[in-house]
Structure 1
Amino acid sequence: MNDQAPQTDPAPPHRLQVPPQRANASALIYNESGAYLLHLRDDIPGIWEPGSWSLLGGGVEPGDRSLEETIRRELREEAGLDIPDLVPFAVEQARSSDGTLVPIQIFAGQWSGDPADLELTEGVMLHWFRPEVMPRLRMAPSTRELARRHAELLNAGHYGPGPSTTIADAGTTTTAAVRPPHPRSPSAAAPSGRPVPNIIGVHLYLENAHGEILLGLRHPDSAYAGRTWHFLAGHCEQESAVACLVREAREEAGLLIDPGDVEYVHAVHLVDTPGTPPRMQLVFRARHWTGTPEILEPDRCVSWSWWRPEALPEPLVPYARAAIDGIRTGRLYTEWGWT
């Protein structure tokens, strides 16, 4: 990141013809839950926005043939990130230390990983935040406005028509068309024609001796389903689904489960929001376990409670309710959101 870049101001809505050495590039990275990846900068005097949340990015360096190459290099160098699809979204202007305006090309791209798994080489940390949380953060108003505008367009299903939102590089030009970030309908083929990977999630269905089901209340600032009840759940890493379930139960709630005591009970093939990556949500029952549920990841879950299946709490993640209904009726599979 170019530490000398100052706070951004909105750019005029037209193409900016500028030498590449006087342009920067930043990435507006979002996930399927509508949260945005922000970078907490070092609190060091003399750098741009010390101690503030910002976007990943930086300035053009020798060898960069386009601003897309610039942002891809910066993402790799700063966080080891490689995002296949980056779309030009907007152009902002930064006022440099000598008072001149430097354009910043904003690229938007989707990624659904855990920031804690990234190897950050600059700054303090990376974290997901939804736009409604951002007013409580120390960050540039222009960055907050970028996320708000992008979220509105995502919710509408497109980036919308309008003038070019790219900077013409010297010798190369990124596309001037404003492309949609995802297909218009959940079942549409990917714009590239490539297969769309499905994300695998695992969920723990646990019943106590009274027939009550264990559910957790997610943290209000959780990237997904804040203030909502849900299964103990997680995403598969380099592991089998059952191994993931055993690990998540131990890490999130201190429950010890023998893989031999786990049985598959339901799957929900889900499109949570139109245009987001499909998810295969696998639900497993543990017939036996050791331990009492504890709050071990308070940034994700603030409470564990047992609930009668006929009196489940509200709000409850809709596909979790569908899975519980399926388990109680002996149904093994549900499709959700494929309209």
Structure 2
Amino acid sequence: MSTQHDTDAGTTGLFALVPASYVYLLREGERGTEVLLQQRGPVPYMAGHWAAGAAGHVEPGEDAFAAAARELSEELDLVADDLTFEFTMQRTQHGPAIEERVDYFFTARSWSGTPRIVETAKCTAIEWFPLDALPSPLVPHEAHALAHLGGEQRYLTFGF
């Protein structure tokens, strides 16, 4: 059975949904709540921008919580004691191919280990910043996410 959506997809390109998980480590500092961010290295997407301490695509057969825990281990060599779901963000990127993203955001206030850069080819620095004094440049959809951190909203959109 063909639907209008199927017909449209055939003429405009394939539709892709790309899921990702993000982890913001939080701590109380002298200037209030601080978040650990990484500065992206020479990578194709947003090189030099500040971003979540750990983030990455959800792999086939993996749920968003498992992806968040895996990324935390792979990128910062940490195990979260209290990985907490914050919200989901639906994003769109307009262009020749239709690409939709769904991002799952988590926080942790307690973990085992000391944060360190594991993927040195992808990350040039990690640093703690007060939530009310974030660095620039910041990945745009993550700036939107950080602005809503700690709120009651569990669904965000970006790019529509």
TM bin (shorter chain): 0.7 to 0.9
Equivalent residue for 2:19? 200
State the shift of 1:195 in Å: 7.3
> Is 1:326–1:332's contact at 8 Å kept on the other side of the alignment?
no
Which position in structure 2 is the counterpart of 1:111?
none
TM-score (norm 2): 0.83
| Residue equivalent to 2:3 | none
Deviation at 1:194, TM superposition (A): 8.5
Q: 1:337 to 1:194 in 2, by over 3 A?
A: same
Matching residue of 1:83: none
Instruction: Look up the equivalent residue of 1:223 and give its one-letter code.
Output: P
Percentage of matched positions with identical amino acids: 31
Aligned residues of 2:49 and 2:137 also touching (Cα < 8 A): yes
Tell me what 1:224 maps to.
45
Report what 2:4 is aligned to.
Answer: none
Which residue identity lines up with residue 201 of structure 1 in the other structure?
A
| Displacement of 1:320 | 0.5
Are the aligned partners of 1:319 and 1:336 in contact in 2 as well (CA < 8 Å)? yes
**Conserved 8 A contact 2:13-2:98:** no
> What residue in structure 1 maps to residue 72 of structure 2?
249
Which one has more relative contact order, counting CA pairs under 8 Å at least 6 apart? 2
State the Cα distance separating 1:329 from its structure 2 match.
Answer: 3.2
The alignment of Structure 1 onto Structure 2 pairs a total of residues equal to 147
Q: Which amino acid aligns with 1:239?
A: E
Kindly indicate whether residue 105 of structure 2 is the aligned counterpart of residue 286 of structure 1.
no
Which of 143, 146, 157 does residue 321 from structure 1 map onto? Answer: 143
Considering fraction of residues, name the structure with more strand. 2
Q: Which has the larger radius of gyration?
A: 1
Q: CA deviation at 1:193?
A: 7.8
Q: Could you tell me which residue of structure 2 aligns to residue 108 of structure 1?
A: none
- Cα drift, residue 293 of structure 1: 1.3
1:131-168 Cα offsets, whole Å, 9 max, x none, are xxxxxxxxxxxxxxxxxxxxxxxxxxxxxxxxxxxxxx
Give the 4+ runs in structure 1 shifted more than 6 A. none
Shift of residue 197 of structure 1? Answer: 3.2
Q: 1:293 is paired with a residue of what secondary structure? A: coil
Q: How far is 1:319 from its partner?
A: 0.6
Amino acid at match of 2:64: A
Relative to the length of structure 1, the TM-score reads 0.41
The alpha-carbon deviation at position 272 of structure 1 amounts to 3.6
Query: Structure 1: any 5+ residue segments left out of the alignment?
Result: 1-188
Q: CA RMSD in A?
A: 1.9
User: Alignment partner of 1:310: what SS?
Assistant: coil
Question: 2:86, 2:150 within 8 Å by CA — same for their partners in 1?
Answer: no
Matched, 1:264 2:85: yes
Instruction: Name structure 2 gaps, 5 residues minimum.
Output: 1-7
Shift of 1:307: 0.7
